[in-house]
Amino acid sequence: MVTLYDVAQRAGVSIATVSRVLHGHARVRQDTRDRVLAAVEDLGYVPDGAAQSLARSRKDVIGLVCVEHSGLDLRQYDSEAMSRLFYDGVLRGVEERLREDSWSLLLTFLRDDEELVAARLLALSGKVDGLLIGEGVVPPAVMARLAKRLPVVAVAGDPSLRGVDVVSADNWSGAQAVAEHLIDVHGARRLFHVDGPASAPDAVMRRAALDVVVAARPGAAVTGRYEGRFSFHSGEEAAAVLLERPGDLPDAVLCANDQTAIGLMRVLQAAGVRIPADVAVTGFDDIFPASLYDPPLTTVHQPIRELGQRSCDRLIARISGPAPRRRIELLPVELVLRGSCGCPPGTSERREVARRKPGAVPPAPRPPPVRAASR
Amino acid sequence: MVTLYDVAQRAGVSIATVSRVLHGHARVRQDTRDRVLAAVEDLGYVPDGAAQSLARSRKDVIGLVCVEHSGLDLRQYDSEAMSRLFYDGVLRGVEERLREDSWSLLLTFLRDDEELVAARLLALSGKVDGLLIGEGVVPPAVMARLAKRLPVVAVAGDPSLRGVDVVSADNWSGAQAVAEHLIDVHGARRLFHVDGPASAPDAVMRRAALDVVVAARPGAAVTGRYEGRFSFHSGEEAAAVLLERPGDLPDAVLCANDQTAIGLMRVLQAAGVRIPADVAVTGFDDIFPASLYDPPLTTVHQPIRELGQRSCDRLIARISGPAPRRRIELLPVELVLRGSCGCPPGTSERREVARRKPGAVPPAPRPPPVRAASR
DNA sequence: CAAGGGTCTGTAAACGCTTACATGTCGGAC
DNA sequence: GTCCGACATGTAAGCGTTTACAGACCCTTG
């Protein structure tokens, strides 16, 4: 391995000078500089990251931890699982920010049932300057311990998390908007809800909003609920539940996300149910296939990439500056109307959704999910 | 920041002892051990990664570099761009391997037009023990320089790359299988090819195989070719080209990947072209939406996740052991027959594709892409 | 009872870099 | 000719670990 000493020796200078040339922190005579650069080039010298980090006591690395829900089957590689698309978006956002400065990104996937969550996160915390933690559930105690050691930002996390910044999409307002649209515009009364995992803050928010909207509208009711796992399969399962009482379909099915909605629609359609004529269906997230499906899926567009960017901005601010006040940031979402909710075919309208006041995030009421009867 | 010294002091021992307790490399008396562990717990000590790396001269980090094709428009965030799905798959595969040992993953995205490619890669090489470089094009000189410094594996890379290991799917055989299927089974004669970027080794392989198959079959011919960018949009553009001569459609369109195929089918269908009745269409990769489309897309399944795993295995082997012989590894693909090629609706058959001998990878013939006339 | 051999623990030298401080050199002003 | 201040460069002290080696202690054994 080529070190500073090798370069210094070859250029006939001291290691300090080499370092100075490499960083331009101080002036070095032109011919010395040239000699050093030539030596660097000749030897193919690249500074050792570990040594630099140690000397600067700054690693220039941030960690992105993708916490995935344990409900998902490990074996079955859900190429469509929510988390993949979600984290991919976040990743891009983060990367964009990072490349501007010269940070690096350390990536880790974690299942939230992993016994080792705490251990792995702690170990990770020794390798980075700050942590971005996604979605899933990390025990609050672990969070607190981490937050004491270094800056932590929860991406799409539970806003009630203590001690860490939270950046999230405005799930509440999004869910509210869909529910209102279905009830007020399309006259839906009997709603079925395909929920996400109870461990997902996003899902919890969406459910809470739905319940509030329904409660405020006499005549409307959530007539059934199925706890899914944000996946295509969950949607299929939920559809099977609905088809057990084919004469008794709800007016609308609100799905926890697009994958779920698509899975559901496929099974329903295969059974002869017409969408939206017989049942309206909505998703959440606005992933790529949503607009491709027949009928195109009405959904809520989440600014996932931006989520990554903002989280990253905040983390870097915390790392480099004196700690700003702890903050919860809520990004606005859009209601995307397409055909599956009953809007005329060909409709494709994006509507800004009024933004919920960040401060007003409620510690969402959490009734235990009413599992649909059988299975 | 809590250091070894703090722990040592609190436990009333030397730092060496603390280190020993933490790693179990040597025996320590039980009560000493307990005292140390208690101190660690109390102080919330976590070893500093940089210092460990320096002392062990091993970083336990590998870098995954996702090189993306510059053809893609930066602004337009192709949520469906090939590279996203591809790298997402690779990432998962890599992650699975890494978590078994306690390696970490440093992730970088790079556009292959970036002037700074060399600089960024070099800098990166100081922070990791080995590098996994994806798909896109890194100047051979840079590759060589990197490979001299540390182990490098090219994922889905150009098999003619010197000095680095290459792990790739058997694109040649896959493309061969689709082409043969279309011509021999469905009697297609006039083929249109929507190609991928010329800078993508995968695309080059697929084209070469197609050309060889066609050349061997009198009567069959590639009647047109459009150089796309592996994206949904590319497919739409290619479709527009085809629709300029609506009376003169080819028998089949072979697309560089699934996104392209889906984009193409949408536009053709919107113009009243029936698939597969009027034109057969095939994709490549077998991404999630492929089976969902109407008609379901005939395609070639790539073991992307496995690609990540194998690459990673190889890299780790190189890092930890004495360098094994340089090697090219080709992973088998599957032909997935669905409706879009003309197989009866409802068909869904996966066929193993005979595996090409790894050694036999040809320095693919590279005729300059024949761009379709207009635009 | 001294010597020999285990155990356990401490000392100190790396690891490769950054950077405060010291040193040296040179030109000009007096 | 001496002195001063720039400027260029070298010296050495960290940064927080790991680990080879040395030392201390305690038991056996002859």
- Closest Cβ–Cβ partner in A44, A51, A294 for B294: A294
Asked whether residue B75 falls in the same domain as residue B199, the answer is no
**pLDDT at residue A74 in the model:** 42
The mean pLDDT value for A114-143 works out to: 87
Q: Which two tokens stand for residue A179?
A: 């529910």
Asked whether residue A85 falls in the same domain as residue A212, the answer is no
* SS3 state of residue A290: helix
Give the pLDDT confidence of B106-158 residue by residue, as tens digits.
999 887 777 778 888 999 999 999 999 987 678 888 888 899 899 999 998 87
The gap between A17 CA and D12 C1' (Å) is 14
User: Do the domain assignments include residue B34?
Assistant: yes
Interchain CB distance below 8 Å, A79 and B289: no
The set of long-range contacts for A20-24, using a CB threshold of 8 Å and a minimum separation of 24, is A22/A47
- Closest Cβ–Cβ partner in A54, A95, A125 for B109: A95
The protein residue nearest C18 (Cα–C1') is A55
Omega of the bond leading into B276 within 30 degrees of 0 (cis): yes
Give the pLDDT confidence of B68-96 residue by residue, as tens digits.
766 555 444 454 455 677 888 899 899 88
**pLDDT at residue B366 in the model:** 44
Interchain CB distance below 8 Å, B61 and A127: yes
Asked whether residue B84 falls in the same domain as residue B114, the answer is yes
Cβ-in-10-Å burial (0-12, 13-18, 19+) of A328 comes to: middle
The mean pLDDT value for B334-360 works out to: 81
Cβ of residue B14 lies below 7 Å from strand C = yes
**Burial annotation B248-262 (CB, 10 A radius, 16+ → b, else e):** ebbbbbbbbbbbbbb
Give the pLDDT confidence of B351-360 residue by residue, as tens digits.
878 776 655 5
Distance, in Å, from the CA atom of B354 to the CA atom of A313, rounded to the nearest integer, reads 50
**pLDDT at residue B82 in the model:** 52
Count CB atoms within 10 A of the CB of residue B349: 11
- Closest Cα partner for A6 from A40, A55, A50, A48? A40
Cβ-in-10-Å burial (0-12, 13-18, 19+) of A158 comes to: buried
Cβ of residue B16 lies below 7 Å from strand C = yes
Interchain CB distance below 8 Å, A105 and B108: yes
Cβ of residue A1 lies below 7 Å from strand C = yes
User: Taking 50 as the threshold, does the pLDDT of residue A375 lie above it?
Assistant: no
User: Do the domain assignments include residue B155?
Assistant: yes
Binning pLDDT at 50, 70 and 90, where does residue A372 land?
very low
For residues B28 and B17, the answer to whether their CB atoms sit within 8 Å is yes
Q: What is the CA radius of gyration of chain A?
A: 25
Cβ of residue B17 lies below 7 Å from strand C = yes
Asked whether residue B352 falls in the same domain as residue B273, the answer is yes
Q: How many CB pairs under 8 A join A and B?
A: 119
Chain A's closest residue to B120, CA to CA, is A102
User: Do the domain assignments include residue B130?
Assistant: yes
**Burial annotation B197-221 (CB, 10 A radius, 16+ → b, else e):** bebbbbbbbbbbbbbbbbeeeeebe
Asked whether residue B154 falls in the same domain as residue B84, the answer is yes
Q: Which of residues 55-84 of A touch strand C (CB under 7 A)?
A: 55-56
Find the CATH number of the domain harbouring B18: 1.10.260.40
Interchain CB distance below 8 Å, A106 and B61: yes
Domain of A9 in residue numbering reads as 4-47
User: Do the domain assignments include residue A124?
Assistant: yes
Tally of structural domains, chain B:
3
CA torsion B364-B283-B229-B371 (nearest 10°) is: 70
Q: What is the mean pLDDT of chain A?
A: 86
Asked whether residue A162 falls in the same domain as residue A236, the answer is no
The gap between B52 CA and C13 C1' (Å) is 16
Asked whether residue B142 falls in the same domain as residue B211, the answer is no
Binning pLDDT at 50, 70 and 90, where does residue A367 land?
very low
Asked whether residue A141 falls in the same domain as residue A208, the answer is no
Chain A's closest residue to B146, CA to CA, is A44
Asked whether residue A192 falls in the same domain as residue A281, the answer is yes
User: Taking 70 as the threshold, does the pLDDT of residue A79 lie above it?
Assistant: no
What is the pTM assigned to this prediction?
0.86
User: Taking 90 as the threshold, does the pLDDT of residue A105 lie above it?
Assistant: yes
User: Do the domain assignments include residue B52?
Assistant: no
Asked whether residue B231 falls in the same domain as residue B135, the answer is no
The gap between B36 CA and D24 C1' (Å) is 21
**pLDDT at residue A368 in the model:** 43
Q: Which chain B residues are within 8 Å of A145, Cβ to Cβ?
A: 44
Find the CATH number of the domain harbouring B240: 3.40.50.2300
Q: Which chain B residues are within 8 Å of A89, Cβ to Cβ?
A: 79
The gap between A297 CA and D8 C1' (Å) is 69
User: Do the domain assignments include residue A373?
Assistant: no
**pLDDT at residue A364 in the model:** 44
Q: What are phi and psi of B160, to 5 degrees?
A: -85, 0
The gap between A98 CA and C30 C1' (Å) is 57
Asked whether residue A238 falls in the same domain as residue A352, the answer is yes
Mutate to test the interface with A, among B292, B309, B336 (most CBs of A within 10 A): B292
Asked whether residue A212 falls in the same domain as residue A310, the answer is no
For residues A189 and A220, the answer to whether their CB atoms sit within 8 Å is yes
Give the pLDDT confidence of B21-59 residue by residue, as tens digits.
999 777 889 999 999 999 999 999 999 999 999 999 999
User: Do the domain assignments include residue B367?
Assistant: no
Cβ of residue B49 lies below 7 Å from strand D = no
User: Do the domain assignments include residue B55?
Assistant: no
Q: Which of residues 25-54 of B touch strand C (CB under 7 A)?
A: 26-29, 32-33, 51, 54
